[in-house]
Amino acid sequence: MSLLLAEFRDPETLLDAARRARDAGWQGLDAHVPFSIEGLSEALGLPQTRLRLVMLTGGVLAGIFAYALQWYTAVYDYPLNSGGRPLNSWPVFLIPTFEAVVLGAILSGVVGFLVSTGLPRLNHPAFAAHGFERASQDRFFLAVADPAVDETRLAAALDGLDPLSIREVA
Amino acid sequence: MSAAAQDAGLPLGASYDGMIGIVADPMLQHRPGRHYRIALGLAFLATLSFIGLVTWLFVAGIGIYGNNATVVWGFPIANYVWWIGIGNAGTLISALLLLTRQPWRASINRFAEAMTLFAASIAGLFPILHLGRPYRAYWLAPYPNTMELWPQWRSALVWDFAAIAVYILFSLLFWYLGLIPDLATMRDRARSRRARLVYGVLAFGWRGSARHWQRHDAVYRAMAALAVPLVVSVHSVVGLDFAASLMPGWQESIFPPYFVVGALFSGFAMVVTLAVILRWGLGLQAVITERHFDAMGKILLAGAIVMGMSYATEWFLAWYGGERAEREVLHFEFTGPYAPLYWTMLACNVAVPQLLWFRRLRTGLLATFLIAVAINIGMWLERVLIIWNTLSHGYLPSMRRLFQPTFWDWATLATSFGVFVFLFLCFVRLVPAVAMHDVNKRLHDEQAGRA
C-alpha cells in the first residue's frame, strides 16, 4: 500500500490539514513531527491511549506481589521477633511495597510504550521520502495511507494550505 | 507577548533549526577542543584510580579506611548520602517542573537527569564499599536460598536498598525515554555513516509519528508524576536510616523531610554549578539564559532558609526535649573537635546563600557559581558531620572516639568525582545536553502565544 506524505512548514497548518483529512473520512492517518504538538491526536482522530491503565495495573500487581512476599517471609516462612513488633508489621512493609508499585508501573509503562509503538523498528517506508530527515527537526508531515486517496485527491483536499511538497512513497 | 513567552527564557525570533543547530552541531561537526581532551584524560585517569582504589579496598579490607568500631559509617556513608542527594535533585527538578508546567525546565532537565543518573550510580557503590564483606551485598535481595533466610523487612537498610535500586532504574528509563526523539534528530542531522548508524539504532527507529508522540507523552508524564513521590521516598528512607536508630542527634522525626530538602538544595546547587560550566563549554548562551539562573537562584535561597530553619528546629528540640545525651551532642557540635567544620557548614549552607537576595548576584554567573560551590561543600560537611558528631558522642562515654579520615578515604572521595566528571564529559559529547524537542515545543508555544 502506498503512503502519501504532505510536508508543512509549521504546526498550525499541519493541524488544519489533519482536520481536513479526518473530516474527509480517510483511513490510515498519521503525522511525523519533530516535537509533541498539542491537539494533534484529536485533529487526526486517533483513539485515546490506554497506556496509563497498563501502568496502573502493572503497579498494583507489583505492589501486591511485594506485600505478599513480605508477609509470607516475615509471618510464615521465617518469623523473627524483632523488639516485640508484630510479625505482620504492615506500616513498614508499605515502604518496599511502594517502591515495588513504582517499579511495576514504570516497567509496564516502558514495555507498553515499546509494544504499542512497535519500536524498535529501524526501517519504515516513510524514511524513504526525500527530505524526511527534517521530520525530526523543523518540518511537519501529514501521512495518509488510504488506498482510495492519491496525490491529486490529497492536493485538492489541502488546497489553500500550501504544502511544501506532496510525495508518494512505496 | 504573553507571560509564558517570557518564562521559557528563550531568545525571540529563534528558529527550530537554529535551536537544534546550537545544541547538536558542536557535537557532530567540531572536533573536541584541547581543554576538553585534557579534562577527559584527567577524568579518565581518576576513573582508573577509583577502580584501583576499590580493588585495593576489596583486597585489603575496610581497615584501610578511618572507620572504627565507634564511627562505623565514617566517610563512605557520608559520601553516599551526599551523592544520592545530588542524584535526587535531577529527577525531582525535571519531574516537578514538568508537572507544574514551568517552561524554562526544557533547557536544564536533560543534563540534570544525566547528573542524577551518574550521581545515583556512584552513590549506590558507597554502601557496598563500607561493608566488611562487600561480596555479600546481595544478601539484601530477597531470593530463595539454601540458608533459608529472608531479609529483615523492618530494617531501614533493606528499605534503602529497595529505594535506591528502583530509583536508579527509574532515572535511567526516564532519561532515556526523553532522549529517544533527540537521538532521532541526531541521526537525521549526522553526516557520517557511522554516527547515523549508531544514533539510528539508539533512537529505536523513532520517526516522530503522532501515535508515538501520544504514547510517549502519556508514559513520560505518568512517570514524572510517579517521580515526585519516588524521589521524596528515596531520600526520606535515607533519613530513616538515621532516624530509625536510637542514637542521640539522629532519632528525630524531622529527619526524612529535612533530608529531602537537603537533597533538593545540594542537587540544585550542583545543577547550577554544571549549568555554568556547560553554558560556557558548549556555547549554550542562547538556551541557558540569565532567566534560568535567576529562577534557580531563588530556589537555592528558599532552600537555604528551610535548611536554616531545620537546623534551628534540631537545636531547639534537643534542648526542649531535655534529654541529657541529646543536649550533649548539641554542645559537642558547637564546641567539640569538629566545631570548626560545623561553623563552616552553617556559613556555607545558611549564611552565604543569603547573597542571592540580590538580583544582580543571582544573574551574575561568577557569583552564582561560587555560591553554588559553597553550598555543595556545605552540604558535604553536613552529611559528614551528621555521622561523625552523633557516632563520636553516643550514650556510652567509654566508647567515644573521633573519626580520622585516612589517605584512602580522601582518595576514594576525590576519585569518585573523577568518575562523575568522566561520565559527564562523555555525556556532553555523545548525547544532546539539552532536550531539543522540548525546547522547540516551548519555542512553538512562545511564538504561538505572541501571534
Decide: helix, strand or coil at residue B263: helix
More confident residue, B166 or B67: B166
The pLDDT of residue B6 is above 50: no
pLDDT in tens, B313-357: 989 988 998 888 888 888 998 998 999 999 999 999 999 999 889
Q: What is the largest CA-CA distance in chain B?
A: 75
What local confidence, expressed as pLDDT, does residue B28 receive?
76
Residue range B248-260: average pLDDT?
86
More confident residue, B182 or A166: B182
Question: Which grid coordinates are listed for B32?
Answer: 573536541
The pLDDT of residue B10 is above 70: no
Amino acid at B191: R
More confident residue, A109 or B451: A109
Domain that includes residue B188, residue range: 3-142+163-450
Please indicate, yes or no, whether the overall pTM of this predicted structure exceeds 0.90. no
What local confidence, expressed as pLDDT, does residue A29 receive?
85
Could A78 and B218 be called an inter-chain contact, meaning their C-beta atoms sit closer than 8 Å? no
CATH of the domain at B349: 1.20.1630.10
B2 — pLDDT class (breaks 50, 70, 90):
very low
A-chain residues within 8 Å CB-CB of B207? 32, 124, 126-127, 135-136
Decide: helix, strand or coil at residue B209: strand
Instruction: Confirm whether B230 is domain-assigned.
Output: yes
> Who's near A94: CB < 8 A, 6+ residues apart?
A67
Residue with cell 524483632: A82
Instruction: Confirm whether B151 is domain-assigned.
Output: no
Find, in chain A, the residue whose alpha carbon is nearest to that of B152. Answer: A74
For chain A, list the domains and their CATH numbers.
3-48+124-169 (3.30.70), 51-117 (no CATH)
A-chain residues within 8 Å CB-CB of B158? 96
> Who's near A160: CB < 8 A, 6+ residues apart?
none
pLDDT in tens, A26-39: 888 888 888 888 88
A120: closest CA of chain B, how far (Å): 4
To 10 degrees, what angle do helices A90-117 and B156-189 make? 20
The pLDDT of residue A151 is above 80: no
Say which DSSP state B141 is in: S
B442 touches chain A (CB under 8 A): no
What local confidence, expressed as pLDDT, does residue B410 receive?
92
> Who's near B284: CB < 8 A, 6+ residues apart?
B22, B23, B107, B278, B433, B434
Find, in chain B, the residue whose alpha carbon is nearest to that of A140. Answer: B208
The domain tally of chain B equals 1
Q: Which of A1, A6, A42 is nearest to A163 (CA)?
A: A6
What local confidence, expressed as pLDDT, does residue B8 receive?
57
B450 — pLDDT class (breaks 50, 70, 90):
low
A21: closest CA of chain B, how far (Å): 14
Find, in chain B, the residue whose alpha carbon is nearest to that of A11. Answer: B444
Could B184 and A123 be called an inter-chain contact, meaning their C-beta atoms sit closer than 8 Å? no
Instruction: Confirm whether B156 is domain-assigned.
Output: no
What local confidence, expressed as pLDDT, does residue B1 receive?
31
pLDDT in tens, B225-238: 898 899 889 889 98
For A7-37, the DSSP string reads EESSHHHHHHHHHHHHHTT-SSEEEE-SS--
> Who's near B303: CB < 8 A, 6+ residues apart?
B261, B264, B265, B268, B353
Contact (CB, 8 A) for B261 and B308: no
Instruction: Confirm whether B398 is domain-assigned.
Output: yes
Residue range B160-188: average pLDDT?
90
Find, in chain B, the residue whose alpha carbon is nearest to that of A36. Answer: B213
Instruction: Confirm whether B54 is domain-assigned.
Output: yes
Could A34 and B154 be called an inter-chain contact, meaning their C-beta atoms sit closer than 8 Å? no
Could B16 and A100 be called an inter-chain contact, meaning their C-beta atoms sit closer than 8 Å? no
Could A136 and B208 be called an inter-chain contact, meaning their C-beta atoms sit closer than 8 Å? yes
Which 98-117 residues of chain B touch chain A by CB within 8 A?
none
- What mean pLDDT, rounded, does chain B reach? 86
Question: Which grid coordinates are listed for A162?
Answer: 500550501
Find, in chain A, the residue whose alpha carbon is nearest to that of B176. Answer: A110
Find, in chain A, the residue whose alpha carbon is nearest to that of B225. Answer: A102
Instruction: Confirm whether B158 is domain-assigned.
Output: no
Which 192-221 residues of chain B touch chain A by CB within 8 A?
200-201, 204-219
Q: Which of A143, A150, A113 is nearest to A128 (CA)?
A: A143
Instruction: Confirm whether B83 is domain-assigned.
Output: yes
CB neighbourhood size of B184 (10 A): 25
Which 135-164 residues of chain B touch chain A by CB within 8 A?
142, 148-154, 158-159, 162-163
What local confidence, expressed as pLDDT, does residue B345 receive?
92
pLDDT in tens, B84-97: 888 888 887 788 87
pLDDT in tens, A84-95: 888 888 988 999
The pLDDT of residue B299 is above 70: yes
pLDDT in tens, B362-401: 888 888 899 999 999 999 999 989 888 888 888 888 888 8
The pLDDT of residue B26 is above 60: yes
Residue range B297-305: average pLDDT?
91
A-chain residues within 8 Å CB-CB of B15? 138
B166 touches chain A (CB under 8 A): yes
Instruction: Confirm whether B153 is domain-assigned.
Output: no
Complex-level ipTM beyond the 0.85 threshold: yes
Question: Which grid coordinates are listed for B179?
Answer: 532522549
pLDDT in tens, B110-167: 888 888 889 989 998 898 888 888 888 888 888 888 888 888 888 888 898 899 899 9
Give me the residue from B154, B165, B205 closest to A123, CB to CB: B205
Residue range A96-108: average pLDDT?
94
What local confidence, expressed as pLDDT, does residue B12 receive?
59
Could A137 and B208 be called an inter-chain contact, meaning their C-beta atoms sit closer than 8 Å? no
Among residues of chain B, what percentage have pLDDT more than 90?
Answer: 24
What local confidence, expressed as pLDDT, does residue B176 receive?
92
The pLDDT of residue A59 is above 90: yes
